[in-house]
Structure 1
Amino acid sequence: MKQVLTIQKVLNNNVVIAHNDVYKEVVLIGNGLGFNRKKGDSVPFDQADKTFLLKDEKEMEQYVNLLPYIEEKLIAFIQELLLFIEEKMDKELNEHIHVALTDHIAFAINRAKKDIQFSNPFLFEIESLYPKEYLVAKDVVQKIEERTGVFFPEGEVGFIALHIHSAVTDKSLRDIKRYHSLLSQLVEIIENNLDIQLDKNNIDYHRLIQHLHRAIDRADKGTIISEENKLAAMLKSEYPVCYNLAWKLIKVMQNQLNKPVDESEVMYLTIHLQRLTHKF
């Protein structure tokens, strides 16, 4: 049976606030959804495949407050982009991306028009850690440039990739940025302690940040990995500098995440660090 909602308020041609017994008050978003409609009219929930539903009360409030500052055409276009992202990622997007990405793209366009440049210090790491999200974000930026004639700096691809990653993993953007900030801190500690400048194009750097990211994620989730006592003893004996540095990194993770980190992580970090010194 079709779910039918009653319109409470038409915000614009593409956005309406509606109500039914199941969803209570919700925001429905879709191309032309509010056109020629008024309060009291019925609207089928599945009227168009370009319809999104915002059920979370906080997300709904933020989205409604955001709308007056954005052109209607842009709101409809961003819905197209969200459908494109969902199709390319082949995953349902968390509804928070409607607020976050709408806000980000609208103000990114304004920044670009005023030639205000924002650097993205994690651009390489984002591309390395989230390759699929990064490629989709590149396509999104290209679509924006083709539609609006406004050209974004390269760093915007990274920011949009983070929004996509947040939406498909249900991780908050705040947590993702916290991970990246910690990752950057760990890389700086490695460079200072080993007295080296890491080459971001080197495969060993790629492997290191992949591992550090997984280690941070495991620590945050409290995941335990298997312990190899013999291997740990060998690494401590053969590569004391890297082994001690690995422990230092673990302690930084523990302090920043405020959670214990599985001691077995030391072994794998030691191996990655040793590779960086080209002696393993």
Structure 2
Amino acid sequence: MEQILIIQKVLNNNVVIAHHDTYKEVVLIGNGLGFNRKKGDSIPFDEADKTFLLKDENEMEQYVNLLPYIEEKLLIFIHELLLFIEEKMDKQLNEHIHVALTDHIAFAINRAKKEIQFSNPFLFEIESLYPKEYLVAKDVVTKVEERTGVSFPEGEVGFIALHIHSAVTDKSLRDINRYHALISKMVNIIEDNLDIQLEKNNIDYHRLIQHLHRAIDRAAKGTLLGEENKLAAMLKSEYPVCYNLAYKLIKVMQNQLNKPVDEAEVMYLTIHLQRLTHKF
């Protein structure tokens, strides 16, 4: 049965606020959705081929507050980009991306027009950890540049990839950025303690980053690896420098996350560290 909503307010040609029996007030976004409509009119929930529903009150309020600062043509273009991202990722996007990505792209365009450059210190790591999101983000940047005529710095691809990853995993950008900062801190500790300069294009560096990311994720979820006492004893005996460094890194991770970290992580991290010294 078709669900009919009652329009509370038409914000522009593409955005309306309507009454929903379950969510109360909701924001509906769709190309031409608000055209020639007014308060009190009925609107089928699934009228548009693709309509985004903002049902969270905080997200709705933030999105409505953004609208006066964004041109309608840009707003509907970003709406099209979100549909493109959803299609390419083949996953439903968390609704918070409407606010986050709309805000980010609008201000990124303004920065680019003013030639204000922003570096992204985690660009390589983002590409390594989220390759699919990174490729889709590159396509998004290309579309924005073609539509607006502005040129984005390479770092914008990484920032947009993080927004996409956040939207498909339901992880907050705050946590994602916190984890990247932790990985960066641990990489610096590794370089200092082993007195080496890690090469980011090296396959062992790529494996290390992947492992640190998975270890952080396991710690955040409370996942245990299981005990391997014989392997731990062998690694501690054969590679004491890397084993002790791995233990140190696990303690750093534990302090930063404020969560217990399975000490079995030390074994696997030791192996990755030993590879980096080219002695394993």
Q: Which runs of 5+ in 1 are unaligned?
A: none
1:170-209 mapped onto 2 (5 Å cutoff)? 170-209=170-209
| 1:55-94 equivalent positions in 2, closer than 5 A | 55-94=55-94
SS of alignment partner, residue 7 of structure 1: strand
Q: Distance in 2 between matches of 1:93 and 1:116?
A: 30
TM superposition shift of 1:20: 2.6
Alignment of 1:125 onto 2:128: no
Aligned partners of 1:158 and 1:49: how far apart in 2? Answer: 30
Q: Distance in 2 between matches of 1:226 and 1:49?
A: 49
Query: How far apart, in 2, do the equivalents of 1:105 and 1:130 lie?
Result: 20
The one-letter amino acid of 2:73's match is: K
1:108 maps onto 2:108 in alignment: yes
Q: How far apart, in 1, do the equivalents of 2:265 and 2:75 lie?
A: 45
Q: Deviations over 1:82-114 (max 9, x none)?
A: 000001001000000000000000000000000
Structure 2: gaps (5+ residues)? none
Q: Which residue of 2 is the match for residue 2 of structure 1?
A: 2
How far 1:49 moved relative to its partner? 2.2
1:83 and 1:170 map into 2 onto residues whose CA distance is 17
SS across alignment from 1:235: helix
Say whether 1:266 aligns with 2:253: no
SS of the aligned residue for 1:6 comes to: strand
* Equivalent residue, structure 2, for 1:34: 34
Distance 1:94 1:45 in 2: 19
1:153-180 CA-partner distances (Å, limit 9, x unpaired): 0000000000000000000000000000
Using the alignment, how far apart are the partners of 1:141 and 1:201 within structure 2? 24
What is the Cα-based RMSD across aligned positions, in Å? 0.6
The residue that corresponds to 1:169 in the other structure is 169
Q: CA deviation at 1:50?
A: 2.6
If the length of structure 1 is used for normalisation, what is the TM-score? 0.99
1:227 offset after TM fit, Å? Answer: 1.5
Q: 1:43-58 residue pairs with structure 2 within 5 A?
A: 43-58=43-58
1:172-205 deviation line (CA, Å, top 9, x unaligned):
0000000000000000000000000000000000
Q: What is the CA–CA distance in structure 2 between the aligned matches of 1:264 and 1:166, rounded to whole Å?
A: 28
1:191-230 mapped onto 2 (5 Å cutoff): 191-230=191-230
- Residue 11 in structure 1 maps to residue 11 in structure 2: yes
Distance in structure 2 (CA, Å) of the matches to 1:21 and 1:210 = 45
In structure 2, distance between residues paired with 1:67 and 1:154: 27
Q: Distance in 2 between the 1:208 and 1:217 partners? A: 14
Runs in 1 of length 4+ with deviation above 3 angstroms?
none
